[in-house]
A and B are shown apart, each in its own frame.
Chain A
């Protein structure tokens, strides 16, 4: 089954700085990829997803991610961090051989400093 690895369990940025959260997937076949966000004491919400087509995917709240097959990566970025972006972010992959099998990364907690 496919899996994802998120580099860095904690990332801290200053307000207004670039946000970069890293995700690499393991698969020889391009998978379906997702980023979810979890705010404190809440469930996860979908930020964006890549299934097919354009490799640069735009999501909610100004986030975007680029699918790079050559690097097996799907890093999440936002040009300018806002205090409200502080949350935990999860990369996830779903196998095209079992559409119900979604595997999540360990998560990256984003802190935004004023």
Chain B
């Protein structure tokens, strides 16, 4: 299975820029997607196919990367962005998710 590695946690101040990384154990082309999950809620799609902003998602969120290294960037970070962010690949079977990066605001 394709293992997706994310840093476990980040802490930033409101107004700053934050980059969340996701590294795949094998190439996934551009088929990397990003989700935001708040406690007790279902995940919400933010970015699909590496760099495409999902409908209704603020332009503060952006994605980049291809192959094995991907980044979700939030600029500027707002208080409401406190959540866990997951990457997910759909290039290799089975679909897999990263373990998530918990974003906290200082």
Q: Do A and B assemble together? A: no
